[in-house]
């Protein structure tokens, strides 16, 4: 069971008080409380909690709008806690980036599994985004290395394999990545074009 810092937002003070008590009994710390979505967003940015629990119907900014803002900025996973269980509301919550959904009234033993699911899904999303960033970086590096190979082939009359071997040799000799060597070759080539 994971314990974390939680921000809760509900315009009903009694529900906030009950939810806070349940969370603390489960070992969580309530880092902040809000009675509207706008304040919930502010607390998410400033407190950087592990989880945000939002009600749907709140003044200033409803829970779905707050969830969308919090999710798009990747501030924390959002668990929606609401009296609405209709399919359109659940679909809207999903589009807003909500990672778990709990319908009021709920029991304490239902809360922790919903929290665990939200946290696990958030970790999975973060890992996938990290993998995507790494793949994009690899693709960009391949393009740059390909461009550097083309320059070496053109400038020195080398085959593609020979050009790549030269890049590798420079990379090993200078303890630099292939991308750094390729960037240097491209920059040198661009400087030579400017001089002409």
Instruction: Write the pLDDT tens digit of every residue in 115-155.
Output: 888 888 888 887 787 788 788 888 888 899 888 888 888 88
Of 25, 10, 30, the C-alpha closest to 105 is 10
Whether the CA torsion 186, 192, 193, 195 is positive or negative: it is positive
Q: Which of 3-12, 92-101, 135-144 has the lowest mean pLDDT?
A: 92-101
| DSSP one-letter code for 10 | -
Q: In the numeric block, which tokens belong to residue 171? A: 């990379």
Q: In the numeric block, which tokens belong to residue 121? A: 């899904």
156: three-class secondary structure by DSSP = helix
Instruction: Write the pLDDT tens digit of every residue in 49-69.
Output: 999 999 988 888 888 888 888
Q: Looking at domain 5-106, which CATH architecture does it have?
A: 3-Layer(aba) Sandwich (3.40)
Domain residue ranges in the chain: 5-106, 131-195
The backbone torsions φ and ψ at residue 158, rounded to the nearest 5 degrees and listed phi first, read -95, 160
pTM, two decimals, is 0.67
Domain 131-195 top-level CATH class = mainly alpha
Task: Show Cβ contacts of residue 45 under 8 Å, excluding neighbours closer than 6 positions.
Answer: 73, 75
């Amino acid at each position: 069971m994971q314990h974390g810092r939680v921000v809760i937002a509900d315009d009903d003070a009694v529900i906030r008080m009950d939810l806070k008590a349940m969370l603390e009994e489960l070992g969580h710390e309530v880092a902040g409380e809000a009675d509207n979505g706008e304040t919930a967003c502010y607390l998410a940015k400033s407190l950087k909690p592990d989880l945000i629990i939002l009600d749907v119907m709140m003044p200033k900014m409803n829970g779905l709008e707050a969830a969308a803002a919090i999710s798009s900025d990747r501030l924390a996973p959002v668990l929606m806690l609401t009296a609405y269980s209709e399919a359109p509301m659940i679909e809207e919550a999903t589009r807003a980036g909500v990672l778990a959904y709990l319908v009021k009234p709920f029991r304490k033993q239902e809360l922790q599994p919903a929290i665990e699911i939200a946290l696990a899904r958030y970790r999975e999303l973060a890992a996938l985004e990290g993998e995507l960033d790494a793949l994009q970086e690899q693709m960009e590096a391949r393009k740059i290395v390909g461009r550097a190979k083309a320059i070496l082939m053109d400038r020195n009359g080398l085959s593609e394999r020979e050009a790549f071997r030269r890049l590798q040799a420079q990379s090993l000799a200078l303890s630099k990545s292939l991308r750094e060597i390729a960037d240097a070759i491209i920059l040198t080539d661009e400087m030579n074009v400017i001089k002409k």
